[in-house]
């Protein structure tokens, strides 16, 4: 008989789980991030020449289209994780992500195959989005179920920490290539190299994840015969309120993240007219700030609770986004980098806690389904569209500060959602939300 408490706090298993999930997740988000860092090259190569703003908007539209595939990935991989386990899903999604990213590096340009170039780009980006729909939910559940009640916020924070690491590695790779290669070489073939590197990194990530065991929580559930036969139906029937809560919870998490780490690098060069080197320095500083802050803030949420940090992050975005955008557009590079770093710090306050709080809303029986569905609906509506909306707002209004209003609106929506949530820090994870008998009767 399995023990009532699978004791996930043993140091070696937890450390191994964190390494496996974090390294694999960093690889996934390296794949996903390089598209944003190479947006100007992609706009030139995959769309008709002429209007640079229209081409960049089309590039970000394809970026956003991948996010609309994420709910489909969530609907597929989330319930699959509740039926066969979190670890197997994590292995599959990194394989799909890396293969599709590698293929983007091989697609011929618009000048070579015409309209088929953007069509193939769109299809491969959608495949990336479908894969990403299974990554975050499965990863958050995986780490939450390995962690002890006392340290869950700290352990789960390494998932979002690894996302920033992946983004930073993508930025460093692209910038290093631009420094080492001539402009002509970068334009001809150099921009493809990061996509090809993704194939090799994906093989490493796949190896790591296939060597992980499944979580103590899910293993105990399976041994007790409590694994749901229809987790998707059960999630919608009995966990609809947490699904709605996580949709609202991660609005600012996603808008803030993609504005800070995907939109602002191109904003630095296109709108603020700084150099690519300046943009690289700024995104590097912002990334390092977030990397330094996320784990200790996750640990702080274990001490003071999830809600204080979630409320603080939402309020900080609401109050300081506008003045920080004024600082961004002041004309001073030092001021712009400072503002970028400050926005990254605010994002760290919220993101360090949001994933653990989201995982704690659900019972183990439907955790992967509920989390993946709710999170990916929100990211499709608000996260993937953030670079497009921000770029469109600047182009449409002529106001360089217009993206700030979008961030503030997202923060208000999340703040209202957080106020409806109960505190979940330091509490045992709920294992079975409903009995099989009740499920059968529903």
Unique residue bearing structure tokens 């808008």: 255
Q: Work out the end-to-end distance of the chain between its first and last CA atoms, rounded to an integer number of angstroms.
A: 29
Name the band, by pLDDT with cuts 50, 70 and 90, for residue 435.
very low
Neighbours of 70 (CB within 10 A): 29
3-state secondary structure of 196: helix
Q: Which residues contact 383 (CB under 8 A, 6 or more apart)?
A: 67, 250, 253, 254, 255, 257, 258
> For residue 271, what is the DSSP state?
T
* Cα separations in angstroms, 414 against 35, 50, 160, 181: 27, 40, 18, 44
**pLDDT for the residue 308:** 97
Contact 128, 97 (CB under 8 A): yes
**Which residues have CB under 8 Å from 388's CB, separation 6+?**
57, 60, 61, 63, 64
H or E stretch including 399? none
**Cα–Cα dist 404/45, whole Å:** 30
Which residues 6+ apart lie within 8 Å of 267 measured at CB? Answer: 328, 390, 394, 403
Q: pTM of this prediction? A: 0.85
Please state, in angstroms and rounded to a whole number, the distance separating the CA atoms of residues 187 and 191.
6
Q: What is the pLDDT of residue 71?
A: 86
Q: From the CB of residue 417, how many other CB atoms can be counted at a distance below 10 Å? A: 21
8 Å CB contact between 99 and 195? no
Above 50 in pLDDT, residue 355?
A: yes
| Amino acid 382: pLDDT | 84
| CA–CA separation, 76 and 134 (whole Å) | 8
CA distance 140 to 371: 9
Most confidently predicted of 54-68, 304-318, 364-378, 421-435 = 304-318
pLDDT tens for 37-63 read 787 788 788 877 766 667 777 777 777
Model confidence pLDDT, tens digit, residues 98-126 = 888 899 889 998 888 888 888 888 889 88
The hierarchical CATH code for the domain 14-215+237-420 is 1.20.1250.20
pLDDT at 26 over 90: no
The pLDDT assigned to 353 comes to 96
Average pLDDT of the chain? 87
φ, ψ for residue 331, nearest 5 deg: 100, -10
Q: Measured between alpha carbons, how far is 225 from 174 in angstroms, rounded to an integer? A: 49
Q: What is the mean pLDDT of residues 9-37?
A: 75
Contact assessment for residue 285 and residue 172, using Cβ atoms and an 8 Å cutoff: no
């Amino acid at each position: 008989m399995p023990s009532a408490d699978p004791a996930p706090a043993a140091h070696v298993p937890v450390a191994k789980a964190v390494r496996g999930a974090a390294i694999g997740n960093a690889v996934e988000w390296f794949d996903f991030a390089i598209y944003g860092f190479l947006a100007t090259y992609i706009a030139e190569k995959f769309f008709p020449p002429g209007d640079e703003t229209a081409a960049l908007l089309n590039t970000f539209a394809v970026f956003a289209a991948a996010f609309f595939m994420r709910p489909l990935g969530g609907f597929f991989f989330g319930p699959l994780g509740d039926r066969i386990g979190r670890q197997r899903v994590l292995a599959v999604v990194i394989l799909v992500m890396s293969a599709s990213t590698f293929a983007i590096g091989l697609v011929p340009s618009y000048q070579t195959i015409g309209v088929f170039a953007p069509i193939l780009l769109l299809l491969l980006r959608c495949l990336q989005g479908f894969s990403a729909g299974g990554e975050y939910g499965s990863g958050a559940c995986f780490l939450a179920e390995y962690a002890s009640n006392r340290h869950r916020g700290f352990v789960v924070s390494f998932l979002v920490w690894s996302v920033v690491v992946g983004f930073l590695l993508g930025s460093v790779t692209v910038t290093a290539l631009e420094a080492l290669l001539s402009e002509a070489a970068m334009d001809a073939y150099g921009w493809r190299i990061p996509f090809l590197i993704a194939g090799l990194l994906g093989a490493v990530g796949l190896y790591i994840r296939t060597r992980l065991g499944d979580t103590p929580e899910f293993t105990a559930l399976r041994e007790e015969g409590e694994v749901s036969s229809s987790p998707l139906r059960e999630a919608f029937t009995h966990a609809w309120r947490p699904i709605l809560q996580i949709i609202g919870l991660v609005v600012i998490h996603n808008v803030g993240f993609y504005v800070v780490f995907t939109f602002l690098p191109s904003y630095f060069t296109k709108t603020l007219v700084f150099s690519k080197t300046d943009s690289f320095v700024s995104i590097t500083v912002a990334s390092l700030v977030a990397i330094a802050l996320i784990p200790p803030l996750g640990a702080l949420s274990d001490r003071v609770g999830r809600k204080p940090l979630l409320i603080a992050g939402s309020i900080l975005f609401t109050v300081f986004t506008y003045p920080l955008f004024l600082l961004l557009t002041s004309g001073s590079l030092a001021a712009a980098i400072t503002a970028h770093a400050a926005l990254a710090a605010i994002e760290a306050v919220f993101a360090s806690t949001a994933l653990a709080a989201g995982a704690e809303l659900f019972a183990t029986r439907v955790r992967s389904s509920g989390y993946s569905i709710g999170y990916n609906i929100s990211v499709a509506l608000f996260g993937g569209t953030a670079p497009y909306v921000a770029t469109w707002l600047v182009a449409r209004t002529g106001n360089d500060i217009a993206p700030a209003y979008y961030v503030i609106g997202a923060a208000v929506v999340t703040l209202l959602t957080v106020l409806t949530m109960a505190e979940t820090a330091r509490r045992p994870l709920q294992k079975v939300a409903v009995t099989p008998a009740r499920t059968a009767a529903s």
